[in-house]
């Protein structure tokens, strides 16, 4: 399966290990981003946190439709995976910018001293959700009380943050570690399981009566598919980042206008994707990518206040072992401002 099965970010240890690598590389004198002559700057590598799939469909379309080329860029996608480090290639200049699956990853990296910032957000909300059945429905966070919640160990901090946000004692529910399949719910071992709403194939075993409680409906803000770059890149290579973001935004606009054709382009580029599954999933992908805020401020926008709230909640549950990062160190709106006239305003 090429869709992501791990619904959250890597563990804190993975982030810190990557941070240690980047500091060692910087100390060794590895140059950041690209050489400053215009010919070299045209080559842009984008480092992704995971395998290329439906969450990157707009980026893929931008490449297939020549939108990067129109901006004077020679773009290469560098997919990630379960053992791939996202931060080091960006900080050492092997990649010009990267994409995290969840905004919390950026916050952890920044708290660890890695000089990176969010500059755009592809998904307006995390695809993470809790899934239950009518016999023991969980439609709100309060419905979790007295229930058995099955969750992946890497996602436990998300549940802790949600319970804190909603003033619920963790001891009032039973929390069980599970893997990434949905069978514990269908066999009655738990009352809810967690995973990404975009993982259509894995979720299909639950059946048509599935009840979804999206992370955004729990009161905990989060962005997904966040594009990030180093402080140096944002300061000295903003034009390159803006050109890339303009192309990606056009790719997402084209996907919105031609969803079925966009899926076919993605499957053509990455044959491991299943055409039928992706055609069923693309409406959900678009619902995650566009909302009222993108209708006003354009695709890729984000609210700094939501990032500040996320920092506050994760700090209260002790997620930042070295102290919470400053909110102003975690994001930059510079690239959004530079591309404001070109990013599609689609609600």
Check if the beta carbon of residue 136 is closer than 8 Å to that of residue 147.
yes
Joined tokens for residue 343: 């990013």
pLDDT along the chain (347 residues), means of 10: 44 44 34 38 89 97 98 97 91 97 96 98 97 98 98 95 97 95 96 96 94 96 97 98 98 98 98 97 98 98 97 97 97 98 97
Domain 137-218 has CATH 3.30.70.1380: no
Q: Which of 120, 66, 127 is nearest to 298 (CA)?
A: 120
Q: What is the pLDDT of residue 42?
A: 76
Q: What is the pLDDT of residue 9?
A: 46
Q: What is the pLDDT of residue 122?
A: 98
Main-chain phi, psi angles of 35, to 5 degrees? -60, 155
Contact partners, residue 271, CB within 8 Å, separation at least 6 = none
Distance, CA of 163 to CA of 268 (rounded, Å): 42
Extents of the domains making up the chain:
12-126+222-338, 137-218
DSSP class of residue 32? P
Q: What is the separation of C-alpha 12 from the centre of its chain, rounded to a whole number of angstroms?
A: 16
Q: Which of 302, 301, 265, 300 is nearest to 282 (CA)?
A: 265
Question: Long-range contacts of range 272-278, CB-CB < 8 Å, 24 or more positions apart?
Answer: 272/2, 273/2, 273/53, 273/54, 274/201, 277/3, 277/200, 277/201, 278/54, 278/57
Distance, CA of 114 to CA of 99 (rounded, Å): 15
The answer to whether the 12-126+222-338 and 137-218 domains have the same CATH topology is yes
Q: Where are the alpha helices (DSSP H) in 138-258?
A: 156-165, 183-186, 200-203, 231-236, 238-257
Distance, CA of 332 to CA of 91 (rounded, Å): 16
Q: Where are the alpha helices (DSSP H) in 258-303?
A: 259-269, 275-289, 292-297
What CATH code is assigned to 12-126+222-338? 3.40.190.10
DSSP class of residue 204? G
Check if the beta carbon of residue 347 is closer than 8 Å to that of residue 295.
yes
Q: Burial code of 121-132, b = ≥16 C-beta within 10 A, e = fewer? A: bbbbbbbbbbbb
Residues in the chain: 347
Q: What is the pLDDT of residue 17?
A: 45
């Amino acid at each position: 399966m090429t869709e992501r099965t791990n619904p959250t970010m890597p563990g804190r240890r993975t982030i810190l290990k990557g941070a240690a690598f980047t500091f060692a590389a910087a100390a060794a004198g590895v140059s950041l981003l690209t050489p400053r002559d215009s010919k070299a700057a045209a080559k842009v590598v984008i480092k992704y946190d995971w395998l290329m799939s439906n969450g990157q469909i707009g980026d893929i379309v931008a490449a297939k439709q020549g939108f990067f080329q129109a901006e004077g860029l020679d773009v290469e996608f560098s997919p990630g995976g379960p053992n791939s480090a996202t931060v080091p290639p960006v900080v050492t200049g092997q990649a010009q910018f990267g994409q995290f699956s969840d905004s919390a990853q950026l916050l952890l990296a920044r708290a660890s001293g890695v000089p990176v910032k969010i500059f755009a957000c592809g998904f307006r909300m995390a695809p993470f959700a809790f899934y239950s059945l009518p016999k023991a429905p969980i439609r709100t966070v309060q419905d979790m009380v007295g229930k058995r919640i099955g969750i992946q160990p890497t996602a436990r901090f998300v549940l802790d943050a949600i319970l804190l946000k909603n003033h619920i004692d963790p001891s009032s529910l039973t929390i069980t570690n599970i893997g990434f399949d949905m069978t514990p719910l269908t066999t009655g071992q738990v009352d809810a399981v967690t995973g990404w709403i975009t993982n259509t194939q894995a979720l299909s075993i639950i059946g048509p009566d599935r009840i979804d409680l999206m992370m955004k409906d729990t009161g905990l803000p989060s962005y997904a598919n966040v594009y990030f770059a180093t402080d140096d890149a944002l300061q000295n290579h903003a034009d390159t980042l803006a050109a890339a973001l303009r192309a990606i935004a056009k790719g997402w606009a084209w996907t919105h206008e031609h969803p079925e054709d966009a899926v076919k382009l993605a499957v053509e580029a990455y044959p491991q994707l299943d055409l039928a599954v992706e055609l069923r999933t693309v409406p959900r992908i678009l619902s995650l990518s566009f909302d009222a805020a993108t209708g006003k401020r354009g695709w890729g926008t984000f609210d700094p206040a939501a990032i500040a709230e996320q920092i506050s909640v994760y700090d209260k549950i002790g997620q930042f072992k070295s102290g919470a990062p400053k909110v102003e160190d975690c994001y930059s709106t510079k690239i959004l401002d530079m591309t404001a006239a070109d990013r599609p305003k689609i609600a």
